[in-house]
Amino acid sequence: MDDHTLFRGGMKGLLSMRKECEVVGEASNGVEFLDLIGKVDFDVVLLDIDMPVMNGMEAARKALTEHPEMRIIALSMHGASEYYFAMVESGVKGFLLKNSDIDEVEQAIICVHEGGSFFSKELLDDFVEDLRESDKQLPEEENADTLSEREREVLLLICKGLSNVEIAEKLFISKRTVDKHRANILEKTGCKNTANMVVYAIKNSLVDL
């Protein structure tokens, strides 16, 4: 959903050419989006942050309050952390810069559709670099050191947007084991969902992206 007709049309055309994707609806602002979600069956939402009438951050919060299971991927021209953290902490499952290529967009949609999270590697790299160069020291978390080496491995792959199945294949363990590691990470960090884990990991330098 995006207010720029040319961008929205281009994205729709590119996605329509992919056999894995089907565009079932579009809206030009947050109010239209909230009205649309009650009328259309969909699996994943691409939601622009910069929209008139109601911006994407407010629209995401309202939509996820009513439909917490909704899978939203935020789109933005901005890489600023305030946009990123605001959207992630509202419960979105992914974040892409609008200059992402179509292959990355498709990868994000598939990952989120399968229950994973996807955050632009370019964006995460920028945030990590900003945190490293910042004069402001991040507060240390008492429970940060309680994660095992394997849990940190799993957390890194979660931050890179891999699904539980993909993590299991990469680490040569069962999906059930990955599920347990994920549950342990959530409990130890006090996070409510996967998106919060990504924010936690970046803020506390638990992953090296």
Q: How many domains does the chain have?
A: 2
Same domain, 98 and 196: no
Same domain, 42 and 97: yes
**Structural domain includes residue 42:** yes
Longest dimension (CA), the chain: 49
pLDDT in tens, the chain (209 residues): 444 555 666 776 677 777 677 787 888 888 999 999 988 888 899 988 888 788 888 899 899 988 888 999 988 876 666 677 777 777 888 888 888 888 888 888 888 888 888 888 777 776 666 655 554 444 445 455 688 999 999 998 887 767 788 889 999 999 999 999 999 998 988 887 776 787 778 777 776 55
Question: Of 120, 153, 169, which marks where a domain is finished?
Answer: 120
Same domain, 115 and 89: yes
181: CATH: 1.10.10.10
Same domain, 81 and 24: yes
How high is the pLDDT of residue 136? 44
**Structural domain includes residue 132:** no
Same domain, 93 and 9: yes
How high is the pLDDT of residue 17? 74
Same domain, 145 and 113: no
How high is the pLDDT of residue 78? 67
Same domain, 86 and 15: yes
Burial category of 142 from C-beta neighbours within 10 Å (exposed 0-12, middle 13-18, buried 19 and up): exposed
Give the chain as a DSSP string: --S-HHHHHHHHHHHHTSTT-------SSHHHHHHHTTT---S-EEEES--SSS-HHHHHHHHHHH-TT--EEEEES---HHHHHHHHHHT-SEEEETT--HHHHHHHHHHHHTT--EE-HHHHHHHHHHHHH-SSPPPPPTTGGGS-HHHHHHHHHHHTT--HHHHHHHHTS-HHHHHHHHHHHHHHHT-SSHHHHHHHHHHTT----
Instruction: Give me 48's structure tokens.
Output: 């622009």
Same domain, 11 and 112: yes
Same domain, 79 and 147: no
**Structural domain includes residue 131:** no
Task: Give the number of other CB atoms < 10 A from CB of residue 52.
Answer: 10
pTM for the model = 0.64
How high is the pLDDT of residue 138? 43
**Structural domain includes residue 129:** no
**Structural domain includes residue 165:** yes
Same domain, 30 and 65: yes
Question: Of 120, 151, 185, which marks where a domain is finished?
Answer: 120
Instruction: Give me 80's structure tokens.
Output: 């600023």
How high is the pLDDT of residue 178? 94
98: CATH: 3.40.50.2300
How high is the pLDDT of residue 80? 60
How high is the pLDDT of residue 130? 62
Range of the domain at 158: 137-203
